[in-house]
Amino acid sequence: MKAFSFTWLFVLLAFACLALGDGPRGLKLARQDSSLQNIVTWDQYSLKINGERLFIFSGEVHPYRQAVQDLHLDVMQKIKSMGFNAVSFYVFWGLHEPKAGDISFEGFRDLQPFIDAAKAAGLYLIARPGPYINAEVSGGGFPGWGLRNDALWRTSNTSYVEAYQLYMKSVNHILAKNQITQGGPIILYQSENEYTNVQPPYTEDKVYEDSLIDLIVRDTGIVVPITTNDASPKGMYTQVDLYGHDSYPNGFDCSQPKSWESNGVPTTYWASHLRDAPNIPYAIYEFQGGAFDGWGGAGYEKCAERLGTEFERVFYKNQYAISTSIFSLYMIFGGTNFGGIAHPGVYTSYDYGSAIAEDRTLREKYSELKLQANFLRASPAYLTTRPINFNSTQGAFTGNSALRTTQTLDVIGNKTTFYTVRQTDAASFNVQTYKLTIPTSVGQLTIPVLGGSLALTGRDSKIHVVDYQAGNTTLLYSTAEVFTWATIDGRDIIIVYGDAGELHETAFTSGGAQIEASVISGGTIQTGEAASGSLAIQYKTTGQTVVQIGSTTLLYIVERAIAYEFWVLHPSTAALGAYNTKDPVIIKGGYYLRSISVDKSGLTIKGDLNGTATFEIIAPKSALQSVKFNQHKLQVTATSYGTVTASLEANLPDVSLPDLAGGAWKTADSLPELSSNYDDGKWTKADLTTTVNPRKLTTPVNLYASDYGYHTGSIIWRGHFTATGTETGINLEVAGGQAFGFSAWLGSDFLGSWYGNAVDSSKALNLAFKSTLSANSAQVLTVVHDHMGLDEDWWAASETFKAPRGILNYNFTGSASTTVSWKVTGNLGGESYVDKDRGPLNEGSFYGERQGWHLPGFDDSKWEAGSPLSGISKAGISFYRTTFNLNIPDGIDYPIALTTTNATTNSHFRSKFFINGWQFGRYANSIGPQASFLLPQGVLNYKGTNTLAVSLWATEAGGAKLESLALEFTAKAESSINKIKNVAFTPWKKRLGAY
């Protein structure tokens, strides 16, 4: 005991000394000490809202990856029901200012519905507007016109600083009026993003950092604390209020879902915190919640497996062990890269393997997070803890060197302690047994005291609590993990859990009076005395056992799978709305429980069911007089211990989906540019002879698409030349970003294609002409290539986002004197894009896109009949259209995806899928992996007519066809989801200036 007491005293004195400082590295916390606001405050332990300490448990959601504003609320409510209290979000500069000086926050780009949804769900917001965001978006969030700006971006270069002024002031105006000080949900504001790695010879640019803070504070009215997220704990940009860092410790190789590094769990973070920012809460603004998957990748289900429940238990609990009190997971809901949102490293889906899948369904990961979030919410003592032995965890308290145990002490109360146990070899699948020898309020104990040993399976971690207060009940210790507790009608309800069949022990202090335990439901227990005046019970976590402890405590002992079924919900109040955290109701059962309300008539539960649900409801007796689930009145049965049970079968009506294969399709050629009489007079002349791009020109004229205002989708070049008669072919080097492809024609003769792969961003091909060219004959070379998005700019001052898309090199075989006059097109209008409803990144260069063939209302009556399942017989691009009707009933949530299958014959082709004009699928058959494309309700009309358009680009001489095309439900649930309105859009009309 003396040794432990000495350690505690040393740590308490150390942290008391740290408390004398002001901010990171002793800097003054000006924004907390000033009169700007007093709602969001902090000390070295935690954030406080209106004086109340909070563990900020947040998940990342991006408003721009959800085209339907009405769907935000469903996602927010699911995050809230998990036990989280915050959402972090990026804002994508390039989507809002696609043309310099032309700002739009309208339609799906309007941030207010997203913010309002968070508030309605009772979630705080962490705003992260950049100007740089990374985020696997085109340009890392930078606008395409930035490629024509000669500044060194992410530095204090004057031209760059001037470039972001309008955007930052515009977005900050929106964010400022939604701060908590104005009645909104925004509590934190992040400046820049992962400003950590700077391209040599440049170093950290503090002038840039200060200019951003000056803009935020002085010019735009942001008064909540400013944060930043170091990409790793390197101590960059620490002059903000609340410094923090990111962590992605398990990497992104989803093809190896079971492959972990033995030493992959971070062990140096707390030391870094003490070095960089000891006087503020320890914050991680991005911790790995999944992984992005690239073209040719393993698919997001593999990512969800790699970053699944085992990862959550080991890696997240390691962070709790070192007193992390601001913790945000990237991502909690990934969404969709519709249109050209993505950078070249990812495809249409941005599911991310997150707890909430792209179609808004819940993975098992969600349930594990629910256990952890509710535990932390129910454990206020955690918020003033410090890791006592962070440098000496191996073998600590167990004597087993195969285990690491961190002792995390409430240094204010100097009583409650959390012991986090994990395996030293994080990759191990072995089972380790141990006893825990620890100090407690009644002296040193070796646990379990009633005999036997504890066990920890590979890739698991446990938090054992000591001297833990649950209402009026004190747990002397519990080896089973605490899910939650609540005091209801004067009785403490405590729920603990473990893996199925594990041996555990929980002990209670009596305060001098004798207490007894009796099983009132379920399995068996062994009782004894842990120390004088305390009661210990030993049990196995099998099924559910309910134990009466004394007269005022009810202990639920459950195995993990059953713990996953529990929900802790709070009724909204007039004063706090959905932010209320008082008067909890605990409910077991149901696929998803959204909310509760309690009034004089009883309890109403709103939620979703995907099968028959069996409920147990733990609530005040007054609320159990009548119980409703959605519109159903439940027939409840009282248990012997004061709860009620009920069951309800989900109403899942059969709904048939249209047969796309058998539908009426129309088709037209979308590459008329190959015709000898095609007129490209309205195209942009590509005749610039200079560029500010870091890559200097290696062609006679500038053939970089962004220098002509085209930044997305696809690009077409037409090169006019007069033949010398000696040309026999052409060498072309084209850049489009990872997974891009290109095809070339001379006149109508197909020369060949680069089919693309998951790696190459550019490719050079030597293409032979089909026949000898006549001297002095007029020739046209047509080059079509993908634009897969702009690269990110993760290294500041690196300019990597400026990597050009276009023709990098060309020369004719057999002639060095042939000169070419070039024309170029991308999306109609380029930066002055035509479709204001769907935004600047929805369309590419194809003739059908420029004409608006993908839009509802276009008259295709004169087109020929033809299906993408029949395809085309030669290299080229065709467009296909069909319509279909849906009539999906209300009261259900049936997400729908458009699916295809991999074609193995003539396999080199690419398609884009447009639903009601929105591009929601980019398919590369020979690269993959995505073959199922979510069509969100609201873009997809669930009660009416829908238009599906498909572009088919055959990149080999034999042509191509889609192997299959179908609509499929991805899930089915009876649902309490809010009403989803169809997104507004302008129907097709003849496009002025279309060519």
Which residues are known catalytic residues? 194, 286
Judged by phi (left if over 0) then psi (alpha if -120 to 50, else beta), residue 830 lies in left
- Which residue is it, tokens 């006019």? 720
- Which residue is it, tokens 């206020």? 380
CA-wise closest residue to 354 among 432, 267, 291, 439:
291
Please check whether residue 952 is in contact with residue 921, taking contact to mean a CB–CB distance below 8 angstroms.
no
- Contacts with 500 (C-beta within 8 Å, 6 or more apart), sequence order: 541, 542, 559, 560, 561
- Which residue is it, tokens 């020739």? 779
Tell me the pairing of strands 892-893 and 713-722: unpaired
Please check whether residue 710 is in contact with residue 833, taking contact to mean a CB–CB distance below 8 angstroms.
no
**Separation of alpha carbons 703 and 306, rounded Å:** 42
- Contacts with 383 (C-beta within 8 Å, 6 or more apart), sequence order: 45, 46, 53, 54, 55, 325
- Contacts with 261 (C-beta within 8 Å, 6 or more apart), sequence order: 250, 426, 427
Residue 828 class from Cβ within 10 Å (0-12 exposed, 13-18 middle, 19+ buried)? buried
Tell me the pairing of strands 242-247 and 282-288: parallel
What six digits make up the tokens of 936? 């969100």
In our burial notation (b when 16+ CB lie closer than 10 A, e otherwise), range 782-812 reads bbbbbbbbbbbbbbbbbbbbbbbbbbbebeb
**Separation of alpha carbons 937 and 980, rounded Å:** 7
**Separation of alpha carbons 549 and 641, rounded Å:** 12
Which uninterrupted H or E stretch holds 461? strand 461-470
CA-wise closest residue to 555 among 614, 636, 480:
480
Please check whether residue 319 is in contact with residue 248, taking contact to mean a CB–CB distance below 8 angstroms.
no
Please check whether residue 931 is in contact with residue 898, taking contact to mean a CB–CB distance below 8 angstroms.
no
What DSSP letter does each residue of 906-926 carry, written as one string? Answer: S--EEEEEEETTEEEEEEETT
Give me the helix-helix angle, 72-81 and 112-121, nearest 10°.
30
- Which residue is it, tokens 């041996």? 503
Angle at 214 between CA 210 and CA 220, to 5 degrees: 145
**Which residues partner with 932 through β-bridges?**
899
Q: Is the peptide bond before 840 cis (omega within 30 degrees of 0)?
A: no
What six digits make up the tokens of 316? 């997240």
What is the amino acid identity at position 580?
N
Length of the chain: 995
- Contacts with 163 (C-beta within 8 Å, 6 or more apart), sequence order: 100, 146, 149, 151, 153
Q: Coil, strand or helix: which one is 735?
A: strand
Please check whether residue 109 is in contact with residue 171, taking contact to mean a CB–CB distance below 8 angstroms.
no
Please check whether residue 410 is in contact with residue 433, taking contact to mean a CB–CB distance below 8 angstroms.
no
What six digits make up the tokens of 600? 């004089």
What DSSP letter does each residue of 539-561 carry, written as one string? Answer: EE--SEEEEEETTTEEEEEEEHH
